Structure 1
Amino acid sequence: MDKEIISEFDFESNQSNLGLEVIPLKKVIDFSDQNGYDPHRLNFYQLIVIIKGRGIHEVDFETIAYVENTVIPVAMGQVQRFSNNPQLEGYAVLFTPEFLIKEEQDYHYLYDYTIFNHAINPQSHIANKEVLTLLKEMITEQQKGLLFDSGEYQRNLLKNFLIQIERNKRERVEIVCNDSLNLYMRFRKTLDENVNYKIRVADISQKLNVTPKQINNALKSYTNTTAKQLIEDRVILEIKRLLVHSTLTIKEIAYEIGFDDPTNFTKYFKTRVNMLPTDYQKQRQ
């Protein structure tokens, strides 16, 4: 298929080739304005730090309200849409996983932390004094240029920045760090990497070297749903992304998501969303 699925943007920095940049939100909003505030997918991670302004930001069809001193994390691969807000002030912290992850234990920041998992509310977080201080230090270090071991210094600043945001979230929501949370996060990561209509719980359990029962028990603690239902919800989300944010035909979307017959795809979607794919597409556009 040579048609564009969803507009995607790779990490490009005018500051350095580190894989980390902090930019004013005005720059992001101006870029969105030039592109008609179209939804898009980032091939890197983003944390939107709101300093001034109130409004909403859309991530995967969910509207996230923001006020002064809040943070909205957007994980790599999620589809987001900015809205026009002239009063909005703040910064976007952009980083690639390659910048953050240098050792095996560094995966901890992306896959054991819950800030990039919007299934565990809240979806926006508090930018307290500690968060803003670390943000300011990241900006200052970035402006200095590449001094001795600047990459490692900035990496540690980013880690502390993520730690503080995760702390703030855990103060608002009771999150118990145990094997169930670890398995739940691993399940979500594997599912995101293998979204397809044909994938089954047994397929993921085999990849994770656990039983389907262990997965379901872990999920109950955080989602009150089954692994089968979570897979279905994720497939439906991906279909919605393609219907609304791509130029693919219904037939092409059916094949993209793993269906052998577009007719079965239409029946599958209508049964679960209570409308035809074409009707959903028209409604959202």
Structure 2
Amino acid sequence: MQLEHLCPKTKGKLIFTHLEKRPAYFNKNGLDKDLLLTIALNGEQAQEIIINGITHQFPAYSIIPLVSAQDYNFEKPEQITAWQYSRDFYCNVDSYFEISCFGVLFFGYRGSQFLQLNEAGREKFSVLRQLFIEEFQTIDTIQTDMLQMLLKRLIILTTRLAKEQYLAGKIYEEEKFDLIRQFNILVDQDFKTQHKVSHYAQRLHKTPKTLTRIFSGFNYSTPSQIIQDRIIMEAKRLFTYTTLSVKEIAYELGFRDAGHFSRFFKKATNLKPSDFRKQ
């Protein structure tokens, strides 16, 4: 089952996929303008998911949020229930920062984030899944509003799981955690031209040392590692979906010297750019 809705005003998309053998919208994160944020729920059996070339175990009855720049493949897509949406569909909705498109799920954390559902959680998501199916079948003038409300409910439930499972035992200081989110947003905007932590620290009116200390307090990757990861993510996307040369990609990502970029890429991935492209 794959259902799609287009917002009449913004042309934003919402795609709901459930137990589909050949899902049309999975891993469509090439160079298209219509990039989608994804919340994917695995079924009753664990499976593998490859994210940016790295294989992870996707536990049964667990959820992973995926940002639009990530390249991913599910071992068993027919087990997956997924909600995918463009920023034009949901981000125009007035939302508190924690549940916005720039909120906790997609910019509050980096790397693989598997959120486990207990029995009560499975029931909540089962009910929500059925509500989505019913609403997709209800064609009227307020369908978009209802689907946006349901999507917001989904994001709230998933965000609560993230906070419970990843901030457990830590003091949740909203101001500090929002600083991490803002840093991630700035990196996503400026990573092609700004590779130093000092640039982002200045934008946030903090010192690099202060940022590092705050990130460490949340058991988070270092600011420099986050910048590196974002550059590598984009490099992999360009190697996968374009025919640009190593020199052209290096220039696109703010490296004046192709040799410097190649060394940077190999250190991060253990592969030369040419070897990665051959995979």
Give TM-score scaled by structure 1 length: 0.77
C-alpha change, 1:80 and 1:135, in structure 2 (3 Å) is same
Q: Does the CA contact (< 8 Å) of 1:46 and 1:95 recur in 2? A: yes
Give the match's secondary structure for 1:220.
helix
2:49 matches 1:57: yes
C-alpha change, 1:43 and 1:106, in structure 2 (3 Å) is farther
Deviations 1:203-223 (A, max 9, x none): 223333443333222211234
Q: Counterpart in 2 of 1:163?
A: 156
C-alpha change, 1:143 and 1:53, in structure 2 (3 Å) is farther
1:130 Cα deviation from its structure 2 partner: 1.0
Q: Counterpart in 2 of 1:93?
A: 83
2:197 matches 1:206: no
2:192 matches 1:196: yes
C-alpha change, 1:232 and 1:122, in structure 2 (3 Å) is closer
Q: Counterpart in 1 of 2:234?
A: 238
Q: Which amino acid aligns with 1:132?
A: S
Q: Distance in 2 between matches of 1:38 and 1:128?
A: 25
Equivalent pairs: percent with the same residue? 23
1:130 paired residue among 109, 124, 129 = 124
Q: What 5-or-longer segments of structure 1 have no aligned partner? A: 1-11
Q: Counterpart in 2 of 1:139?
A: 133
1:125 Cα deviation from its structure 2 partner: 3.7
Q: Distance in 1 between matches of 2:73 and 2:127?
A: 28
Q: Counterpart in 2 of 1:185?
A: 181
Give the match's secondary structure for 1:26.
coil
Give the match's secondary structure for 1:57.
strand
C-alpha change, 1:125 and 1:197, in structure 2 (3 Å) is farther
Q: Which amino acid aligns with 2:223?
A: A
Q: Does the CA contact (< 8 Å) of 1:66 and 1:124 recur in 2? A: no
Q: Distance in 1 between matches of 2:91 and 2:102?
A: 11
- The answer to which of 225-234 and 114-123 deviates more is 114-123
1:30 Cα deviation from its structure 2 partner: 4.8
Q: Distance in 1 between matches of 2:79 and 2:271?
A: 39
Give the match's secondary structure for 2:104.
coil
C-alpha change, 1:251 and 1:69, in structure 2 (3 Å) is same
1:191 Cα deviation from its structure 2 partner: 0.6
Q: Counterpart in 1 of 2:38?
A: 46
Q: How many residues align?
A: 264
Q: Does the CA contact (< 8 Å) of 2:47 and 2:58 recur in 1? A: yes
Q: Counterpart in 2 of 1:9?
A: none
Q: Distance in 2 between matches of 1:90 and 1:225?
A: 29
Q: Distance in 2 between matches of 1:208 and 1:20?
A: 33
Q: Does the CA contact (< 8 Å) of 1:52 and 1:90 recur in 2? A: no
Give the match's secondary structure for 2:15.
strand
Q: Does the CA contact (< 8 Å) of 1:20 and 1:94 recur in 2? A: yes
Q: Which amino acid aligns with 1:70?
A: S
Q: Counterpart in 2 of 1:279?
A: 275
1:143 Cα deviation from its structure 2 partner: 0.9
Q: Which amino acid aligns with 1:242?
A: L
Q: Distance in 2 between matches of 1:70 and 1:272?
A: 28
Q: Distance in 2 between matches of 1:69 and 1:59?
A: 19
Q: Which amino acid aligns with 1:92?
A: A
Q: Distance in 2 between matches of 1:137 and 1:196?
A: 41
- Report matched runs for 1:16-27 at 5 Å: 16-17=6-7, 19-26=13-20
Alpha-carbon RMSD across the aligned residues, in angstroms, is 3.2
Q: Distance in 2 between matches of 1:39 and 1:168?
A: 26
Q: Does the CA contact (< 8 Å) of 1:49 and 1:92 recur in 2? A: yes
1:159 Cα deviation from its structure 2 partner: 1.3
